[in-house]
Amino acid sequence: MNAESQAIDILLLGSGGREHAIAKKLAASPRCGKLYIAPGNGGTSQEGENISLDENDPAAVAAFAKDHGCGMVVIGPEAPLVVGVADAVREAGIPCFGPGAEGAQMEGSKLFSKQLMERAGVPTAAYGSFTDEQSALDCVNAQGAPLVVKADGLAAGKGVIVATELEQALDAVHECFSGAFGDAGNTVVVEEMLTGPECSLLAFTDGITVRPMATSQDHKRALEGDLGPNTGGMGVYSPVPIVTPEEHETMVAIMHQTVEQLHREGIDYRGCLYGGFMLTPAGPKVLEFNARFGDPETQVILPRLQNDLVDVMLACAEQRLDEVELSWCDDWAVSVVLTSAGYPGSYEKGKVITGIEDAEALDGVTVYHAGTREQNGQILTNGGRVIDVTALGATFEDARNLAYAACEKIDFEGKTLRHDIGLRALKGRSAWDA
């Protein structure tokens, strides 16, 4: 058996629905030997071995990977990337899928990302950055609403406030500087509010070559009709039917521009670069970059990927992505997130989940665990976003109907979900013109 087809043991970091989707795709590869997931969830334990390991401790991760002969480490969430886990793993001589601390600033610092976009000539919202509250308040008062106020650092998805009223924007600035987001709010970025449909375009990259993935569109708001507070994502579909070929070409070009700029600045970026776009009347503009796979976007993108994920990730880690061409199935994918009552606010844990096997018995359905844990042979809720129910279908409607039919089979106390995932896109571009 030659080195290019040899099975390797893999360590995957993370515990959400994204990580279950990655684990399932890795485990399906003939190149995947032993798969360790740290810390994992109630679903990842079916794909490999959940282990107790501090995913945010660079030395501990590198030591585990070395001691267990891992041939690759895959980093799911943003926090381990920002603290430099990938750097420690590479220094230990182990291939790693995920950028080092410097590249992870694309997500770890809104200001770093905006400044790099400026240098790269990437279209994005006009902005100002502030390290004291009064200057930020003065800017907001001068600009008026609507505005977007962002805590500069990682804030677990909660540091971005879309303010349609002036008072909202002023309150958001005060919230950031009051310590509500910890050190993440020490610097605040104030942006113009872009309008149009949103679209995510993720790409594999080894820091030189860029391979765009399929488009996807998340639903961030907690309630139907895109109302309520922002969440980590309530549902998603792929591909995005309202994107024109010209818009897609522009987004792909922007991803290339961004990686080229990182390379020019000596930043070695290997992993997934996530582009969050707004399809404005003036063309696609970048809302934000993330330094990893999206959640729940991964749960509709990876099921459509026909390549061996171990091969693709290893090619990124070893800087030979130019050898890989991506292939996608023609099916549509729709994923609906089942959440605990009260999410994204406070919620209870430990509710028994039933019906997962019945849902997965439907042809074309995969259930990805997010906030779950296993106890005494039962699967219990263990987070706000509990389950991602993903369905593949020949048409958008087929996939959507199948996903909701599968959702009906799963139950737990306090189960909540949005029933309108994908409905707007089915109505066409005009649905965003209101």
pLDDT tens per residue, range 79-130: 999 999 999 999 999 999 999 999 999 999 989 999 999 999 999 998 888 8
Query: Which is it for the CA torsion 392, 16, 227, 165, positive or negative?
Result: negative
Residue 288 in 3-state DSSP? strand
Q: Is the dihedral of CA 236, 238, 240, 241 positive or negative?
A: negative
**Comparing C-alpha atoms, which of 63, 70, 68, 23 is closest to residue 43?**
23
Q: What are the CA-CA distances from residue 332 to residues 119, 201, 370, 407 (Å)?
A: 36, 16, 22, 17
Q: Which residue blocks in 110-163 are alpha helix, DSSP H?
A: 110-120, 133-143
CA distance 369 to 106: 28
DSSP string of 347-360? ----PBPB-HHHHH
Cα(77)–Cα(372) distance, integer angstroms: 17
- Per-residue pLDDT, 4: 63
pLDDT given for residue 62 in this prediction: 98
Instruction: Count CB-CB contacts under 10 A for residue 409.
Output: 18
What pLDDT score was predicted for residue 140?
Answer: 85
Taking phi over 0 as left and psi of -120 to 50 as alpha, with beta for the rest, 98 belongs to left
Query: What pLDDT, on a 0 to 100 scale, did the predictor assign at position 340?
Result: 97
Q: What is the pLDDT of residue 1?
A: 36
Within 10 angstroms of residue 66's Cβ, the number of other Cβ atoms is: 13
Nearest to 144 by CA among 125, 170, 119: 170
pLDDT in tens, 263-289: 999 999 999 999 999 999 999 999 999
- For residue 203, what are the β-bridge partners? 212, 273
Say which DSSP state 404 is in. H
In order of their start, the domains of the chain are 9-102 (3.40.50.20), 132-186 (3.30.1490.20)
Q: Kindly report the average pLDDT of the chain as a whole number.
A: 94
Asked if residue 293 lies in contact with residue 273, where contact means CB atoms within 8 angstroms, the answer is no
> Which residue, among 212, 211, 168, 207, has the nearest Cα to 190 in the 3D structure?
168
Low-confidence stretches of the chain (pLDDT beneath 50): 1-2
Query: Residue 148 is encoded by which pair of tokens?
Result: 């977007």
Measured CA to CA, the distance from residue 241 to residue 215 in angstroms comes to: 9
Contact between residue 26 and residue 74 where contact means Cβ atoms under 8 Å apart: yes
Q: What span, in angstroms and rounded, lies between the C-alpha atoms of 190 and 196?
A: 19
pLDDT at 2: 45
Using CA atoms in the order 257, 260, 265, 271, what is the torsion angle rounded to 10 degrees? 110
Specify whether the CB–CB gap between 206 and 320 falls below 8 A: yes
Q: Which tokens is 258 given?
A: 């961004």
Cα dihedral 27, 199, 15, 363, rounded to 10, equals -50
C-alpha dihedral sign at 310, 312, 315, 319 = negative
Q: pLDDT tens across 334-360, in order?
A: 999 999 999 999 999 999 999 999 999
Structure tokens at 227: 């109302």
How much is the pTM?
0.94
Of 79, 283, 105, the closest CA to residue 199 belongs to: 283
